[in-house]
Chain A
Amino acid sequence: MYDLSAVRADFPVLSRQVNGKPLVYLDNAATSQKPRQVIEALVEYYERYNSNVHRGVHTLSVEATDRYEEAREKVARFINAPSAEHLVWVRNTTEAINLAAKTWAAERVGPGDRIVVTEMEHHSNLVPWQQLAKQRGAELAIAALDADHKLDEADFERLLTPSTRLVAFTHMSNVLGTITPAKRLVEMARRVEAAVLIDAAQSVPHLSIDVQDLDADFVAFSGHKMLAPTGIGCLYARSEVLEQMQPFLHGGEMVLEVTYEDASWNHLPMRFEAGTPNIADAIGMGAAVDYLAALGMENVRRHEVELTRYALGRFAELEEVIVYGPADLDYRGGVVSFHVEGLHPHDLGQVLDAEGVAIRTGHHCAMPLVRSRLNVPATARASFYLYNTEEEVDALMEALNKALRYFGRAPRSRPA
């Protein structure tokens, strides 16, 4: 295991006070905090070698290009991609999914075809497919969850028909923390020759991921949830898929040769990266995966499992709090969504904020799941990362008790 207090010292924001209380940052499923190493990589780029990439022969441009492409290689190694050419830089997971939906999938999904997603998709892995299905006259099928909020694998398999062209599923739910058995699901999809996209926005930051082992066609993830800056993310795709994909944006950088009449496309993956890219943040993402790799993703996962176990135990002390998500920690990441009957999450979040505790409240960009499946207008969500501590979970519980008292719901402990 790693030294937790040394890790915390790397994150400048963790030492700040919020409303006179030490910050307890439990909104990591929304975005993670950034270590000094990532922040310094950004500063170094802007102070030492700020320059455009793949252009000039001057020293700064060469340095910037080297570091930018080196970052791509680092991220490729981090998810065990066969090579850096498999990674397209994008802004975030949403853009990665839209890129796959509006190029590759748009050409392959037609009337009567089926796209399969799950009940717990983030809007970013639901709306692009829903809209594509509407435009193409295809059908969107939704795989159900079981009573424990795990994916109902039998239902998922039942939905896979010969007309299924594409399956898109989350690897870890941002609301429930549910981890899906991605490899098994890919195998099932392969049996009907469906392509697979994995929304790995919540899993790449928290689990050890091997994209070759998963064998999906696309894997989408964001940098900002895994210590990197906002505005940078990746679409991983298999070679065959990338070669078949048509460019989405046309312009500079993505072309090889241009005449007034025509243009030819640049090598992979640059043909999908028109215009000056987000150089600094890509380099920052390289620094982020360096940091994660040094800690070891197995250690990150172990830390979060223990913290989640501890949190679920503490939550169980409160009778009036309903906790969502799988009880089996093999199928759960460090996400605890909860609800107190009669106490709106927004009010709860407000009292917690006064105590310095940052949680997310709302529908978590998964409106159908929260409203139709959990049957509440909104939930409160605490989500953990590698730097969170049991003391912070205790601070959350103390603030939660305070909120219950404030709104006239004296906490009752469960009888032993």
Chain B
Amino acid sequence: MMGTSDLDDLYAEIILDHYRNPRNTGLLADPDLQAEGFNPFCGDRVVLTLALGADGGVERVGFEGEGCSISQASASIMTELLKGKSVQEAHALNATFRALMADAELPHGHTPDELGELTALEGVKRFPVRIKCALLPWATLQDALAQPGAVRG
């Protein structure tokens, strides 16, 4: 049975904050990597641009999107966490977050601490149809990281 408290778990204050005031919005003019994700089920859309530094790590991130609070907050938090990460670390973060959402064991050697504000999205697990919303930015990230430009570094 679901009540308001479950809703409060779903819509944690951190999520509502990122939804109302998304970070790193606006696409980069000179991205090294770019991808677009779309969820036809609810019409959620995320466009992600990444600029890599000389060391091959993520230097700047910009995103644009429209959609529900879960997808947009997930994207906003993701962009915050990506900054300064190497491509490999970005892959690892992606895998760790997906494991959290799937209620699966975290990849070896990884802990929830790395997920930072993403742990606020844990409440989404109880609303199976919304998990796709939370994962949309991460599927988009995966597509971006699969581009040839990402091998650099």
Contact = CB atoms under 8 A, between A and B. Distances in A.
Interface of A: 19-20, 344-347, 350-351, 353-354, 361-363, 367, 370-371, 377-378, 406-408
Contact of B43 (A354, A362, A406): A362
Contacts of B40: 363, 367
Nearest to B67: A344
Interface of B: 1-4, 6-7, 10-11, 16, 20, 40-45, 66-70, 127, 130, 133
A407 B8 CA distance: 11
A20 to B, nearest CB: 5
B7 A377 contact: no
A170 B45 CA distance: 29
A344 B68 contact: yes
A346 to B, nearest CB: 4
Contacts of B45: 377
21 contacts: A19-B2, A20-B2, A20-B3, A344-B67, A346-B44, A346-B67, A346-B130, A347-B70, A350-B7, A350-B127, A351-B7, A354-B7, A362-B42, A363-B43, A371-B43, A377-B43, A377-B44, A378-B42, A406-B7, A406-B11, A408-B16
Given A344-B42, A350-B10, A407-B16, 16 more contacts: A20-B1, A20-B2, A346-B67, A346-B70, A346-B130, A346-B133, A347-B70, A350-B127, A354-B3, A363-B43, A367-B40, A377-B66, A377-B67, A378-B42, A378-B43, A407-B69
A22 B87 CA distance: 50
Contacts of A378: 42-43
B59 to A, nearest CB: 31
A350 B130 contact: yes
Q: Can you list the 8 inter-chain pairs with the closest CB atoms, starting with the nearest?
A: A377-B43, A344-B68, A346-B68, A378-B43, A19-B2, A346-B42, A347-B68, A347-B69
A362 B42 CA distance: 5
Nearest to A342: B20
A19 B3 contact: yes
Nearest to A20: B1
Contact of B20 (A346, A361, A408): A408
A349 to B, nearest CB: 9
Nearest to A371: B43
A399 to B, nearest CB: 12
B25 to A, nearest CB: 15
Nearest to A356: B2
A347 B44 CA distance: 12
Contacts of B44: 346, 377
Nearest to B38: A377
A405 to B, nearest CB: 11
Contacts of A354: 2-4, 6-7
Contacts of B16: 407-408
Contacts of A344: 42, 67-69
Given A346-B133, A347-B68, A347-B69, A353 B42 contact: no
Contacts of B4: 354
Contacts of B1: 19-20
